[in-house]
Amino acid sequence: MKKNESFNCAYANILVTGGAGFIGSNFIRYLFGRSAFKGRIINYDKLTYAGNTASLKDVAGKYGTDRYSFIKGDICDCGKVLRALKKYAVDAIVHFAAESHVDRSIFGPKDFIETNVHGSFSMLEAARNYWNGRKDVRFHHISTDEVYGSLGRTGAFSETTPYDPRSPYSASKASSDHIARSYYHTYGLPVTLSNCSNNYGPYHYPEKLIPLLILNALAGKPLPVYGDGLNVRDWLYVEDHCGAIWEILGKGRPGESYNVGGNCEKKNIDVVRAVCGGLESVRPSAGNSALKGRKYSDLITFVKDRPGHDRRYAVDASKIRRELGWKPAHNFENGLKSTIDWYLENSAWLAAIKETSYSGWLKKNYLLRK
Ligand code: NAD
Ligand code: DAU
């Protein structure tokens, strides 16, 4: 067994929703990397703008015939989910699928309510119906630290912090958390939850802060900083998040929630400066014709703030550390370096995204922030 595998995976057929997205695709790759996991993964994904089968091309090529299946489907389609559960004798569900971008939830909350609330409800119903009281199964619901609201200068979210969501995105996630928990208490469905902070790393859709900064900097475009840039987020390298989910699947107690964080609070402006510095060291602006003699940091542009912008998030992840022995393996410096290197080496993945509706969204977002 590899060093971090302190248990044998009890599940043979794991259905991952949203497996074509950022964290889901990293999680599928992570799972196939565990020697303790010998089973099949069924990736159930609607392929919205954020879903991309290219993110799993290597996995599909290597495991496609016997250990990996992809189903294009909507989590709101309970019947289709149920058929997939039956067909593959699924014994664990890891539910990532969601509309995930706060800015988009501000411009158009409907899809967030549909997918995050109705879709999660539909997943839970399909699981309850198919498993019919079994206890040797698991429904793991992926959630966010944003359900807890906004912090002042001190303190950190623990699992007992009252929910106080403040954007349509976080409200929809909070709602699905409550529904998931209710299925444990009411029907005994073996549900676990995790509430994680800001992830970053490979395959991150470039509407989110870090990949957007990398992309814009390389193209000599403005690096938009919302408001005064002093909002604080806790950053976690995506592979560490995957490791936490793996530990919860293996050893987490049904009915419990686990906070997951990087113990890595940063002001947004410091993240922006770190990305500029990281790029200068591997792809100096002096040699980049798009920069026209400017440094990457010259592109930093303060723009109108996000409405209802939560000021500070910080995560107390002591429960998962104490109970399951999980802690992050990456720090921000090496995680960011790996991320920048990955984007520089994977320009084809990015180019394909740029051909989609991506630029339309950016234009809309940017104009609204002027
Ligand atoms: P993402 O936007 O990159 O990917 C979402 C995936 O879900 C996409 O592949 C998309 O096609 C799929 N999807 C969307 N609607 C669907 C539907 N109706 N039916 C089936 N598939 C659908 O998101 P992400 O950043 O990978 O986030 C994954 C999960 O983790 C979400 O639940 C999110 O709330 C949570 N989360 C994310 C972060 C973060 O920093 N990214 C932090 C904490 C929690
Ligand atoms: O905290 C966990 C959450 O982290 C997840 O639940 C969400 O799915 C995920 O998208 C992320 O939400 P954020 O809103 O924190 O991520 P985003 O990358 O959009 O923004 C990070 C911070 O940077 C936030 O304070 C807003 C700011 N920002 C963002 C963008 C896109 C900017 O200043 N400029 C930008 O261009």
Q: What is the CA(291)–ligand 1 centre distance, in A?
A: 33
Q: Is 211 in the pocket of ligand 1 (CB under 6 A)?
A: no
Sheet holding 257-260, edge to edge: 68-72, 40-45, 13-17, 92-95, 138-144, 191-196, 257-260
Helix (H, G, I), strand (E, B) or coil at 79: helix
Give the model confidence (pLDDT) of 82-97 as tens digits: 999 999 999 999 999 9
The domain tally of the chain equals 1
Q: Report yes or no on 339 lying in a domain.
A: no
Atom of ligand 2 nearest to the CA of 309: 25
Q: What does pTM read for this prediction?
A: 0.97
Residues 26, 201: contact at Cβ < 8 Å?
A: yes
Q: Report yes or no on 76 lying in a domain.
A: yes
Beta strands in the chain (DSSP E): 13-17, 40-45, 68-72, 92-95, 138-144, 191-196, 198-200, 223-226, 232-237, 257-260, 265-267, 300-303
What is d(CA 362, CA 368) in angstroms, rounded to the nearest whole number? 10
What residues does 140 pair with on adjacent strands? Answer: 94, 192
What is d(CA 245, CA 251) in angstroms, rounded to the nearest whole number? 10
Terminal Cα-to-Cα distance of the chain (whole angstroms)? 53
The token pair at 71 is: 């189903």
Place of tokens 């890891």: 94
Query: Residue 353, by phi and psi: left (phi above 0), alpha (psi -120 to 50) or beta?
Result: alpha
Ligand nearest to the CA of 143: 1
Give per-residue burial for 317-337: e unless 16+ CB within 10 Å, then b.
bebbbeebebebebebeebbe
> Which residue type does 66 have?
D
Give the model confidence (pLDDT) of 104-146 as tens digits: 999 999 999 999 999 999 999 999 999 999 999 999 999 999 9
Neighbouring C-beta atoms of residue 131, cutoff 10 Å: 21
Residue 3 has pLDDT above 80, yes or no: no
Q: Report yes or no on 32 lying in a domain.
A: yes
203: annotated active-site residue:
no
Q: Report yes or no on 216 lying in a domain.
A: no
Q: Report yes or no on 288 lying in a domain.
A: no
For the chain, give the percent of residues with pLDDT over 90: 91
What does the mean pLDDT of the chain come to? Answer: 95
130: annotated active-site residue:
no
Domain with 50 in it: what CATH number? 3.40.50.720
Q: Which of 45, 103, 146, 239 is catalytic?
A: 146
Q: What is the CA(170)–ligand 2 centre distance, in A?
A: 12
Helix (H, G, I), strand (E, B) or coil at 339: helix
> Which residue type does 347 have?
S
Atom of ligand 2 nearest to the CA of 231: 25
Q: Report yes or no on 250 lying in a domain.
A: yes
Q: Report yes or no on 222 lying in a domain.
A: no
The token pair at 40 is: 């099949």
* Secondary structure letter of residue 312 according to DSSP: B
Length of the chain (residues): 370
Q: What is the CA(48)–ligand 1 centre distance, in A?
A: 10
Ligand nearest to the CA of 361: 2
Question: Where does the pLDDT of residue 366 fall: very low under 50, low under 70, confident under 90, or very high at 90 and above?
Answer: low
What residues does 42 pair with on adjacent strands? Answer: 15, 69
Neighbouring C-beta atoms of residue 38, cutoff 10 Å: 11
Q: Report yes or no on 322 lying in a domain.
A: yes
Give the model confidence (pLDDT) of 234-293 as tens digits: 999 999 999 999 999 999 999 999 999 999 999 999 999 999 999 999 999 999 999 999
Residue 8 has pLDDT above 50, yes or no: yes
Helix (H, G, I), strand (E, B) or coil at 174: helix
Q: What is the CA(209)–ligand 2 centre distance, in A?
A: 6
343: annotated active-site residue:
no
Supply the range of the domain harboring residue 20.
8-200+237-262+309-330
Question: What CA–CA distances, in Å, run from 229 to 16, 267, 302, 312, 337?
Answer: 35, 7, 8, 11, 22
